[in-house]
């Protein structure tokens, strides 16, 4: 008896990436591409229709991002298996994705080398983490995580806004902004705003818009 192929759905707002994945999968007899979506909202609707075994999910997408989509998908189907595809190798985003319910976190730069193995591994019920991602998570695992408010403040710093503007936008005092930044500096082991933004971008805690 021949096993049914692993049903795969891709979710990414870049058609070229979806096309590249489709070409990789079409040559694998044990894999079958059953659907493509351009954002998280489309993915939720399509999932109900095609019921894939494994979903390949980008994180940064319009309408609905990958993290929200993963959480909602796991609510709809707790056994859903999701592989995150991203350009960000930072540990913060990887941990967020795994906590949301993802089974794997792959860098888009490594798809040709690792995607097919990851799909088969995740389908078998195991997690798949590339060594470089696992190492980043391990290195920072003992550190205090940035709070949502600290991330919000740092995101506004990255957008070039002053403490006064940040305080106004978040409805907090200047002193509170400064206190948040002091905490951020300590947690990221940096001495100023520029290095804080650089470190947070590298680790995937914030993103340039």
Is there a shared CATH topology between the 6-138 domain and the 148-203 domain? Answer: no
DSSP letter assigned to residue 29: T
pLDDT at position 122 is 96
Cβ proximity of 57 and 66 under 8 Å: yes
Assigned token pair, 119: 């799909």
CATH number of 6-138: 3.40.50.2300
Write down the residue that tokens 């205090």 correspond to: 144
Q: Where are the domains of the chain?
A: 6-138, 148-203
pTM over 0.85: no
* CATH of region 148-203: 1.10.10.10
Q: Alpha-carbon torsion 123, 125, 129, 130, what sign? A: negative
Instruction: Evaluate whether 38 touches 64 at the Cβ level (below 8 Å).
Output: no
pLDDT in tens, 130-169: 888 888 777 676 567 788 899 899 999 999 999 999 999 9
Q: Which of 85-99, 128-142, 177-191 has the lowest mean pLDDT?
A: 128-142
| DSSP-assigned letter for residue 128 | B
């Amino acid at each position: 008896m021949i096993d049914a192929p692993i049903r795969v759905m891709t979710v990414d707002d870049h058609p070229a990436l979806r096309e590249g994945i489709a070409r990789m999968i079409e040559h694998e007899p044990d894999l079958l591409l059953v659907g493509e979506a351009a954002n998280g909202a489309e993915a939720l609707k399509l999932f109900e229709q095609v019921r894939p075994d494994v979903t390949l999910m980008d994180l940064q997408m319009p309408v609905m991002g990958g993290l929200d989509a993963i959480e909602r998908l796991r609510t709809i189907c707790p056994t859903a298996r999701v592989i995150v595809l991203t350009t960000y190798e930072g540990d913060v985003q990887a941990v967020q994705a795994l906590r949301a319910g993802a089974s794997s976190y792959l860098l888009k730069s490594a798809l040709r080398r690792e995607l097919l193995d990851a799909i088969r591994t995740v389908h078998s019920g195991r997690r798949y983490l590339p060594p470089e991602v696992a190492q980043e998570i391990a290195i920072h695992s003992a550190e205090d995580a940035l709070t949502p408010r600290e991330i919000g403040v740092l995101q506004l710093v990255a957008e070039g806004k002053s403490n006064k503007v940040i305080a106004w936008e978040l409805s907090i005092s200047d002193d509170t902004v400064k206190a948040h930044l002091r905490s951020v500096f300590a947690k990221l082991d940096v001495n100023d705003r520029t290095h804080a933004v650089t470190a947070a971008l590298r680790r995937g805690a914030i993103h340039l818009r």
